[in-house]
Chains A and B, each alone.
Chain A
Amino acid sequence: MWSKQLHRFNLVRTLFQQGCALIALLAWMSMTGCGKVPAPEFRFNEVEWLKQQKVHLSGDETFPDNYRREIGTLTTALFGTPDQPQFPFLEGEDTSARGIVDLERLRRAAGPVFSNRDGESYGLYRAHCAHCHGITGDGAGSTAAAVQPYPRDFRLGKFKFKSTPLRRPPTDDDLTRVIREGIPGTAMPSFRTLPNEDVAALVDYVKYLTIRGEFERRLLAELSNLDGQPLLPMPLVSALDEGQQASGDDRRVLDEQLSMAVGEWLREDILPRWQRRERHIIAVPAPPPAIDPSDPQYSQLVTTGRTLFYGKANCLQCHGDTGLGDGQQDNYDDWTNEWLKSPGVDPLNRSTFRDFLSAGALHPRPVRPRNLNVPVYRGGGQWETLYRRIAAGIEGTPMPSSPALSSDEIWAVVAYVLSMPYEPLTR
């Protein structure tokens, strides 16, 4: 017999069970969610680690895992953590690195986001940059994969739009300009609305992340020479591990030992490049008067530039016959080539580099030559900046420097390039 009592009872019991399950789920969620999240850490450069193994070791051999720990300990001892940055100023040396970054600015840019009572913002890097560039500055933030081109990985120490020649770090003005103006045609926005001191703090933090990344890569490059020996004297490593909270004299002794052990790499390879960068700014000679469109010689100059574009300067190889950027399409930039050129990796065969992808590398995408028919110039559309692009090339990309061109020829190419978006379709 069909009983309504039974109907109700079963229904109620079923629903009750559902409710209990829900409450249990909520309780579990709240329990696992309680407590502080550990402070974020800099991500180890797994890609470089993998690459060094592929280059220097054979088959399935790997470096001993304690290297990884030693490198972590060492970089943390010298550079601190994302919440508490430090910088190896090499105090007391004749090459003190004081001028490169300012610790106070680093502290404003680092750490979690908040504002103090005076309205000063802290944690600037995480508020504005980390989404794309990642907390480590490895160009692998949460939005990175969706962005074309990929956000910059600072750790290679290479910057595209700068006033210094290839293999020289950019000046502070260059970095400031990129942050303030953005990079048109990419996902890098302009942060013009930020106060100047915030931008300055971010510039210092970018330099800090870059130098930290360069140093880490330097250590990784050293591993193949060690032959299984520890990177540092073991007592120093354990002292560093324990000595994070050390203060006063202990700390100073530790720093001295550290400076002895790794100082030369910093002192001789990495920091001096940053200290001397202002000396290498490329001088831009005065442009010919004909570059001004109102000048009677203007069309003459443009024609010269056009001849060079399709001739001596060989721009068309990449930028294409019509400047649409449809020339050579199978180049990769240095940030990708860095690991893509490892032995056994074929850019067209995903299975040969799957281990790199799981180590954190982004899927390789060929570099696209600029479409010069659109008046958007990533490094800025001024005569001066275009001159530098052509004269010195763009670091990290297939765009070469052009030592073969005279400065007048370069100016002619600049004039032609600037006129391209407005060039009649047939000429």
Chain B
Amino acid sequence: MQRGWSLLFLIVPVGCGVVYLLAALGIPPLDKFWLPPNYNQTGASIDRLFGLTHVVAAVVLFGTMGALSWFCWAGSLRERTSSLVAHHTALEVVWSLIPAAILIGLAVYQFQSWNENKLYYPQWERDGQVGPKPPQVKVVAKRFGWEFYYAGPDGLLNTFDDVFIENLLVVPTGEDVVLYVESRDVVHSFFVPGLRIKQDVVPGLGQYLWFRAQQAVELEIVCAELCGWGHTNMQARLRLVPRAEFDRWIDEQILQHRAGQAARLSQGSSE
């Protein structure tokens, strides 16, 4: 009976770890309990990092839990011969240095992903000069929704022909997309699990976000920072479409928003 406890300390944590591994390896029916599919080019490095830290974590978990339950098992049997050793310098140095090396290794390894995702700002070439790419869409977060402003026919944001649409973001695939996010009232967070991007949207602090999607797909934008009672409902749709389709769509929006609408109306009212 006494020894049974050591099995408990083996079975429960290791069981958890095994379930976790199965999910990570994508074994059905646990495969849906892992990262959602990634559509962002630089997001792959995040997934790699996430996987690698989990490998390290799994090794440490199985190692420590195995040792723990083994020691417990042995300790349950022992009669009056417990060791009185209270420190061992070499051992202590080893188990400080190895984790330190692993942690520093992880810290260095993750830097590449951070660099790729956040420190590199997308560049573009215009008039023969390479410079930072200006944002294509202005995102305004508010309680409880997302407003998206596209440049109108003049190609500039923040002018009077901006096209405004709420809770629907359409952007082209295959190129860097830069968003300018700002908040109208409280702190929100622009979170697209499928693109591995999340950015708190702080009022009074405009920020840039970028990604490069590879595949046409429809995703969800959710709010990840508590913004009040409607926090749950603060979601929008993100439609990633090929460039040609995007151009068609934006033209349609511009038309619908301005002249084209009037044309349609004049046809309609002439009956």
Direct contact between A and B judged by beta carbons closer than 8 A: yes
A residues within 8 Å of B by Cβ?
128, 131, 143, 181-182, 184, 187, 189-190, 192-193, 283-287, 291-294, 375, 381-384, 418-419, 421-422
Q: How far is the CA of A143 from the CA of B228 in the complex (A)?
A: 11
Is B261's beta carbon under 8 Å from chain A?
yes
User: 10 A-B pairs, CB-CB below 8 angstroms?
Assistant: A182-B167, A184-B147, A187-B230, A189-B233, A286-B265, A293-B161, A294-B153, A382-B258, A383-B261, A419-B160
Write the nearest CB–CB distance from B77 to chain A, whole angstroms. 39
Is B61's beta carbon under 8 Å from chain A?
no
Q: How far is the CA of A286 from the CA of B265 in the complex (A)?
A: 7
Main secondary structure of the interface of B (DSSP, over half): mixed
B residues within 8 Å of A by Cβ?
143-145, 147, 153, 159-162, 164, 166-168, 220, 229-230, 233-237, 256-259, 261-263, 265-266, 269
Write the nearest CB–CB distance from A240 to chain B, whole angstroms. 39
Write the nearest CB–CB distance from B71 to chain A, whole angstroms. 38
Asked whether, in the complex, the Cβ of A285 is within 8 Å of the Cβ of B269, the reply is: yes
A-B CB proximity, top 9 nearest: A286-B266, A190-B166, A192-B167, A190-B167, A283-B269, A422-B160, A287-B262, A189-B145, A189-B144
Write the nearest CB–CB distance from B235 to chain A, whole angstroms. 6
Write the nearest CB–CB distance from B123 to chain A, whole angstroms. 30
Asked whether, in the complex, the Cβ of A285 is within 8 Å of the Cβ of B166, the reply is: no
Closest to B265 in A: A284
Asked whether, in the complex, the Cβ of A193 is within 8 Å of the Cβ of B160, the reply is: no
Further contacts, 16 of them, CB under 8 A, given A189-B145, A192-B166, A381-B164:
A182-B145, A184-B147, A187-B143, A189-B144, A192-B167, A193-B167, A284-B262, A286-B263, A286-B266, A286-B269, A287-B262, A292-B258, A293-B160, A375-B160, A382-B257, A383-B262
Q: How far is the CA of A28 from the CA of B229 in the complex (A)?
A: 31
Q: How far is the CA of A268 from the CA of B251 in the complex (A)?
A: 47
Q: Among the listed B153, B168, B229, B269, which residue makes an inter-chain contact with A284, where contact means beta carbons less than 8 Å apart?
A: B269
Asked whether, in the complex, the Cβ of B237 is within 8 Å of the Cβ of A193, the reply is: yes
Asked whether, in the complex, the Cβ of B237 is within 8 Å of the Cβ of A192, the reply is: yes
Q: How far is the CA of A63 from the CA of B106 in the complex (A)?
A: 78
Inter-chain contacts of B261 with A (CB < 8 A)? 382-384
Q: Among the listed B166, B237, B263, B269, which residue makes an inter-chain contact with A184, where contact means beta carbons less than 8 Å apart?
A: B166
Asked whether, in the complex, the Cβ of A182 is within 8 Å of the Cβ of B262, the reply is: no
Closest to B161 in A: A293
Asked whether, in the complex, the Cβ of A384 is within 8 Å of the Cβ of B265, the reply is: yes
Q: Among the listed B161, B229, B235, B265, which residue makes an inter-chain contact with A193, where contact means beta carbons less than 8 Å apart?
A: B235
Write the nearest CB–CB distance from A319 to chain B, whole angstroms. 18
Closest to B234 in A: A189
Write the nearest CB–CB distance from A301 to chain B, whole angstroms. 13
Inter-chain contacts of A286 with B (CB < 8 A)? 262-263, 265-266, 269
Write the nearest CB–CB distance from A91 to chain B, whole angstroms. 34
Among B147, B162, B167, B168, residue most surrounded by chain A Cβ atoms (within 10 Å): B167
Write the nearest CB–CB distance from B201 to chain A, whole angstroms. 16
Asked whether, in the complex, the Cβ of A193 is within 8 Å of the Cβ of B236, the reply is: yes
Q: How far is the CA of A283 from the CA of B234 in the complex (A)?
A: 35
Inter-chain contacts of A181 with B (CB < 8 A)? 166
Q: How far is the CA of A307 from the CA of B256 in the complex (A)?
A: 28
Inter-chain contacts of B236 with A (CB < 8 A)? 192-193
Write the nearest CB–CB distance from A141 to chain B, whole angstroms. 11
Inter-chain contacts of A381 with B (CB < 8 A)? 164, 257
Write the nearest CB–CB distance from A162 to chain B, whole angstroms. 16
Asked whether, in the complex, the Cβ of A128 is within 8 Å of the Cβ of B262, the reply is: no
Closest to B144 in A: A189
Q: How far is the CA of A382 from the CA of B256 in the complex (A)?
A: 8
Inter-chain contacts of B153 with A (CB < 8 A)? 294
